[in-house]
Structure 1
Amino acid sequence: MRRSWILLTAASILGTTPALAADADHGADLAERWCASCHVVRSAQTQASADVPSFASIARRPDFSVEKLAFFLLDPHPKMPNFPLSRAEAADIAAYIASLRR
């Protein structure tokens, strides 16, 4: 139930329809491809940069918001590489990170 709410929330904020709602599984695949060189994106990952937060720690932040994160991924800060993510891909990665919140 919680995952469905996260997906629908991301979809509504990013202007997608529920049929095109964020896909956390696809977000995990994208994160492994684009983000794992710096961030720990899955618990089984053994190597990442020391000075960047893991995705699980990002998800547990008190001010975490799937919407804010999706928008952040579309316009990253200077320390992050400029990845050409679509709105749907940003929503998918944000939904994946939100799924790690425990």
Structure 2
Amino acid sequence: MSKALSLLILAVVVFAPPKPAAAADALHGKDIATRWCASCHIVEKGQTNATDQAPPFSYLARSPDFDQNKLAFLLLKSHPNMPQVSLNRAEISDLADYIRSLK
């Protein structure tokens, strides 16, 4: 490989704009919400089936103290009507990003 081509590839790698992680995280969070949460919570506009005992995600999004740590605590805390959900730290972060996007 020529030196000029090597430098060009290096420049592209170093100076390429980063991908927008927040948008991707929120999209992954929406997928998690749809898969794991939508049977009880209203997770997006237009959803019509949910239980009245689980708060809509838009309500959680407007809560002033909502953040990733609060969500992790809520998922770990025992809920009589909530199934055990095992999400890793990245998935909890993605789900929190999605919920925050509903403000």
* TM-score of the aligned structures, taking structure 1 as reference length: 0.69
| Separation in 1, partners of 2:84, 2:60 | 19
Aligned residues: 82
Measured against aligned partners, the alpha-carbon deviations of 1:38-76 in whole angstroms (never above 9, x if no partner) come to 000001111100121100011111222233223433x13
Moved over 3 A (4+): 19-22
Structure 1 residue runs without a partner (length 5+): 1-18
Which of the residues 53, 56, 64 maps onto 1:54? 56
Identity %: 52
Q: Give the Cα–Cα distance (whole angstroms) in 2 for the partners of residues 32 and 64 of structure 1.
A: 20
- One-letter amino acid of the structure 2 residue matched with residue 78 of structure 1: H
1:77 aligned partner, one-letter code:
S
The residue identity in structure 2 corresponding to 1:82 is: Q
Q: Which runs of 5 or more residues in structure 2 are unaligned?
A: 1-19
Single out whichever of 63-72 and 45-54 deviates more from structure 2.
Answer: 63-72
When normalised by structure 2's length, the TM-score is 0.69
